[in-house]
Structure 1
Amino acid sequence: MITTTGYSATTTLPLDASISPDETVALPKLKPRPVGASERIQTIDMVRGFALLGILLMNIPGFGIDGSAFYNIINGPHNTADYYTLAIVTSFFDGTMRGLFSMLFGAGMVLFTLSKKEVEGGASVAEYYYRRLLWLVLFGVLNAYVLLWEGDILFYYGLFGMLLYPFRKTAPKWLFLIGLACFATGHFKQQMGYAEFREKRLEYVKAIAAEKSHQKLTEKQKSAKAAWEEIEKNRKPDMERTAENVSERRGGYATVFTHFADRNGSLETMITYHFWPDMLGMMFIGMALFRLGFFSNKLTTSSYGLLLLVGYGIGIPIGWIFFSKGVAVTDIGRYLDAHRVPHGALYDLRRLLLSLGHASLLMLIYRSQILPRLMKVLANVGQMAFTNYLMQSIICTLIFHGYGLGYYNQLKFHQLYYIVGAVWIFQMIFSYIWMRYYRFGPFEWLWRSLTYWKMQPMRLTARAVA
């Protein structure tokens, strides 16, 4: 076993960069079990807690406001609280919290598999691992179809996580390369889609030019013109569709369930097909970073400082360019005419740099002991991240859906973040109190009990509480 002394406690670390892919972690010959409190890596919980709270920054519009709000903000005046809020959230946080979560999911996969030893006559580590992920897929279905949150990520993490197991002992450099290859694949798919979209615009421009020169349009040119005009029309809010969406989201449980049933199925298919490079890429990079000791506080202070400077120094300007030149486009036609490659091509680079910047900043704060209580609170939130993630779905759907308070589409965009702040405060207090008396969050306990097919001890002993 390898131990590392942190700034608040000594943490047992089952894997770091000094362990080669072929080495076996020395553990007692016991039946595989959940990681105990003394074996947890506090910095991983801390970063996970930060990411879990941050995810709500991106999810809250999906919970509380119709999509037409984005069009109105971007195409309206730019000196409003809504516009500033959208600019800040998109530039600094869009994709980065999910990126951190995906990295930590990959790190957790390595920790889960290599901290356990095969036991003769018992279930294999692979069996426990895949059983764990199959239950996660089921929890994702529960989140989407019972709690009625269309932005669920558990389903995809469970699904894509099944591809990670064969790479659990792969060297960090190969994990980095695989992650970058995933990003390259995603970029290629994006560029191909953009090229097809741009081609439609070019055909339209040719048709308009022919029409202006008083040429008779061919059937192909007429079709191209009609197709682009339909695209332009669909980019603008459809007030009738918006009213229907708002009415259904403010309805009873059965109405909201029916509203989401088809949408969830379509989303799960679309995201699985189009966004697997996004999630898998970050998972592989997270595995590599964990093996190098990044998430377990093993790097030097200067290394974290350098990653912070690079991550923020390059990531923040790219983030602003990504928003101002890409997201905040008001005339899509002129944009397509002017750019062969979309600014969206910066997405993966921006979120990777900012994710590393966020995590490095947390590591430096942790080491400095400037805010030890806040770091402990974040670690508590992260230790029960599964519970807190599902709790966000429960709280927000009850606030915004009609079977709850029915506030859907009643708040302005920036006002949604007042709700975010209130949920953060509640979850930090709840997590702090809960973890004083229990080993796991309630959903973590259920997940572990199902994974090991045995009821896990829940309450801490009186000595542990003290």
Structure 2
Amino acid sequence: MAAADSTLPLKPAQAPIAPKDRIFNLDMLRGWAILGILAVNAVSFAWPVELTMSDAPPPGGLSYADTVGLWVTDVFFADKFRTLFTMLFGVSVFLVGGERPDRERGRALWRRLIWLGVFGLIHGMVFWYGDILFHYAYCGLLMMLMRSWKASRLLWIGGAITVLWGVVASLGYWGMENLPPEMAEQMQAGMPTADAASIAAAIDVYRSGWPAGLLENVTNWATFQLMASPFLIPISVPLMMLGLGLFKSGWFSGRAPIWTYLLAVVIGGANLALFALWRWQDLMAGEAVDPTHGLAAGAGGMAFLITLFYASVLILITKFGLRMLTGVLVPVGRMAFTNYLTQTLIMVTLYYAPWGPMWFGTHHPAEMWMVVGAVWVAQLIWSPLWLSVFQMGPLEWIWRCLTYGRLLPIRKSAAAAAQASPVAI
């Protein structure tokens, strides 16, 4: 272990997590989540918020390939991977902070969350308004209070609230599609608009470079923090509770009864299949007609079921000896913090940073999928290469050093030497 001072080794709460202490399934699922999140976030990097917050198609309309790309994003990615990452964040609160009576680890967790909030502020205000780190930081401070609850209590309370929100969302989406014509017109009038002039103006601002583009991003970030982020707290915290409950019960580790995974596969898989069918029918029918009578929209509200379907499939694949398949996700998950922020750096560079090609407002869904795929390949390659030399990602290391207030070893050789000797490094 690295030393707390020149003579004493670090206490457990201060020590970096060694590779042998990592939990394979958590890293694997975290890698799956961080890759999937990019597929949803891509449009927010590539188009103005005025367009992403409305149902309007981008200028020039959608080709068949664009429609397929949009369908894939909506059905297989939207809300599913944010949900999974939020659940896993609840687990990390416990793994870092331990039980509530452990004050030393609790203080380390508090510092870790405060620094996460600082990273989130910089990320959101300077680079991309859609940052989730700041939200996780203050939700994590709330989750600290529940981290010592038993698995059953976390599952019942977190699960019940999550199911409730899923039902409310499904009924709400279905109801919106079945409003009387007069009421639907009134509701539509109050929705964000995305007329050609406002979209073109927003594109021009971002493509003009900084400071105009930076100020536009800050404005969008502030609007999101004031108007949307607080309302996500009662959604995010229960998901964190549910995730920690699943971890404490052994479900994430693959030690739960097989029937629990099969049940999630059946229910979540059925929801995914129906949503895929109905959403495709809806897209093919055009804007004016919904042949599903709101079922496509309603099925989208139960995203957490699809999240559990994905997790169950990956856990079962791992459990039955096919780690070579799921193992490719583990390095990406071990560097999730670095990979999340690297995704932002790449996308901002490509779409609206002054030093990039300024693709903002030019890519439709099919083209954005090509960019997303290229970033996936890059992170699947570079993550294991980095971890072959270092024990954690570069930004994980900076975050860890800031949390514990000292320079910790990052190279594997240095970490091994630190474990063999109490001398400070």
**Would the TM-score normalized by the shorter structure come out above 0.5?**
yes
Larger radius of gyration: 1
Verify: 1:156 aligned to 2:107, yes or no.
no
User: Counterpart of 1:168?
Assistant: 147
Q: Secondary structure at the match of 1:72?
A: coil
User: Counterpart of 1:270?
Assistant: 227
Contact 2:170 2:301 in 1 (8 A): no
In structure 2, the CA distance between the partners of 1:46 and 1:181, relative to structure 1 (3 Å rule), is same
Which of 24, 38, 44 matches 1:62?
44
Which of 15, 28, 35 matches 1:46?
28
Contact 1:92 1:316 in 2 (8 A): no
User: Counterpart of 2:4?
Assistant: none
In structure 2, the CA distance between the partners of 1:76 and 1:243, relative to structure 1 (3 Å rule), is closer
Deviation at 1:202, TM superposition (A): 4.4
Deviation at 1:161, TM superposition (A): 1.2
Which of 398, 413, 418 matches 2:370?
418
In structure 2, the CA distance between the partners of 1:87 and 1:280, relative to structure 1 (3 Å rule), is same
Contact 2:117 2:134 in 1 (8 A): yes
Which of 178, 186, 192 matches 2:157?
178
Alignment of 1:213-228 (within 5 A): none
Q: Secondary structure at the match of 2:142?
A: coil
What is the alpha-carbon distance in structure 1 between the residues aligned to residue 231 and residue 125 of structure 2? 21
User: Counterpart of 1:220?
Assistant: none
Deviation at 1:314, TM superposition (A): 3.0
Q: Secondary structure at the match of 2:228?
A: helix
User: Counterpart of 1:405?
Assistant: 357
Q: Secondary structure at the match of 1:170?
A: coil
What is the alpha-carbon distance in structure 1 between the residues aligned to residue 345 and residue 369 of structure 2? 17
Deviation at 1:201, TM superposition (A): 6.5
What is the alpha-carbon distance in structure 2 between the residues aligned to residue 65 and residue 452 of structure 1? 39
Question: What is the aligned-residue identity percentage?
Answer: 28
Deviation at 1:312, TM superposition (A): 0.9
In structure 2, the CA distance between the partners of 1:74 and 1:127, relative to structure 1 (3 Å rule), is same
Deviation at 1:390, TM superposition (A): 0.2
In structure 2, the CA distance between the partners of 1:29 and 1:155, relative to structure 1 (3 Å rule), is closer
Contact 2:269 2:309 in 1 (8 A): yes
Verify: 1:446 aligned to 2:398, yes or no.
yes
User: Counterpart of 2:110?
Assistant: 130
What is the alpha-carbon distance in structure 1 between the residues aligned to residue 316 and residue 177 of structure 2? 44
User: Counterpart of 1:458?
Assistant: 410
User: Counterpart of 2:326?
Assistant: 375
Verify: 1:311 aligned to 2:311, yes or no.
no
What is the alpha-carbon distance in structure 1 between the residues aligned to residue 249 and residue 285 of structure 2? 38
- CA shift digits 1:116-164 (9 cap, x unpaired): 984xxxx622221111111111111111112x21211111111111111
Verify: 1:82 aligned to 2:76, yes or no.
no
Higher relative CO (CA 8 A, sep ≥ 6), structure 1 or 2? Answer: 2
Verify: 1:98 aligned to 2:82, yes or no.
yes
Deviation at 1:203, TM superposition (A): 6.2
How many correspondences in the alignment?
402
What is the alpha-carbon distance in structure 2 between the residues aligned to residue 197 and residue 303 of structure 1? 34
Contact 1:377 1:431 in 2 (8 A): no
In structure 2, the CA distance between the partners of 1:331 and 1:74, relative to structure 1 (3 Å rule), is farther
In structure 2, the CA distance between the partners of 1:323 and 1:98, relative to structure 1 (3 Å rule), is farther
Contact 1:182 1:280 in 2 (8 A): no
User: Counterpart of 1:22?
Assistant: none
What is the alpha-carbon distance in structure 2 between the residues aligned to residue 346 and residue 57 of structure 1? 20
Q: Which runs of 5+ in 1 are unaligned?
A: 1-27, 206-226
Alignment of 1:6-405 (within 5 A): 30=12, 32-66=14-48, 68=51, 71-72=56-57, 80-114=64-98, 118=102, 124-146=104-126, 148-179=127-158, 180-181=160-161, 184=164, 202=182, 230-231=189-190, 235=193, 237-301=194-258, 303-318=260-275, 320-321=277-278, 330-331=287-288, 346-349=299-302, 351-370=303-322, 372=324, 374-403=325-354, 404-405=356-357
The alignment's C-alpha RMSD in Å is 3.5
Aligned residue identity for 1:308: V
Deviation at 1:250, TM superposition (A): 1.3
What is the alpha-carbon distance in structure 2 between the residues aligned to residue 367 and residue 140 of structure 1? 35
Contact 1:117 1:125 in 2 (8 A): no
What is the alpha-carbon distance in structure 2 between the residues aligned to residue 415 and residue 326 of structure 1? 19
- CA shift digits 1:89-113 (9 cap, x unpaired): 2112210011110111111222222
Moved more, 297-306 or 411-420: 297-306
What is the alpha-carbon distance in structure 2 between the residues aligned to residue 370 and residue 185 of structure 1? 35
